[in-house]
Structure 1
């Protein structure tokens, strides 16, 4: 995903008159999404989540998943199928002691922070439609 930011920065530099390489910035079509939060136990961002509070300058406070007016929202991610979450039972894990009274999301110790894949074609299209210029970004 850092290559998307790189492609955008290259275009920003070009628009400011900086001469930049025309070499393509190659991106795989479905890069792996990593999530180091506790969300991996729950899979897709639904239900009880590690959802941060966002505080606006006017004093309002909302959960990150409910934010609006900031670009790409969680609702748009869902609408455009930008992320395919890996079903929790397919993520490598270690079973915790079944005799412990643990909530379902802590029943396992996951051995990876991979939570799914990003549909780069759809993501690129969304970025383009919303005014982000990505110049040399090529999905291969």
Structure 2
């Protein structure tokens, strides 16, 4: 994922080499084990860099995710190679918080007065989405109970 201009200085100068090492460690395959919360893959995500993404058919771009959302923390245990889909889903809560702060800052810069409502005004990271099993297929129409028992109309009449 591209680094936003305001965050460039938060990454170490050797970030490209660090990111490359993480992708090589992963064998150029997404390392997500479901923590992204998509609920679309049991176990490790099957997406491979520059391959076809499962479900969408788009070309996979492998990225390097900071598990704690802190660019300064480049400990290999905090970094995970993720396809763009898993990375975006993993960061969804973080993006929501960042978006709220950005909007609040823009309003303040435009002269909007703020009301201090204490802790209620502080954006909070939503919980990660749990990995869910796929729904069971719907039963055959013949197995469904008949909900309405309508009387039959005599010959020649219309309902």
Rg larger in structure: 2
Q: When the two structures are superposed, what TM-score results if normalisation uses the length of structure 2?
A: 0.23
Greater relative CO, 1 or 2 (CA 8 Å, sep 6+): 1
TM-score, length of structure 1 as denominator length: 0.25
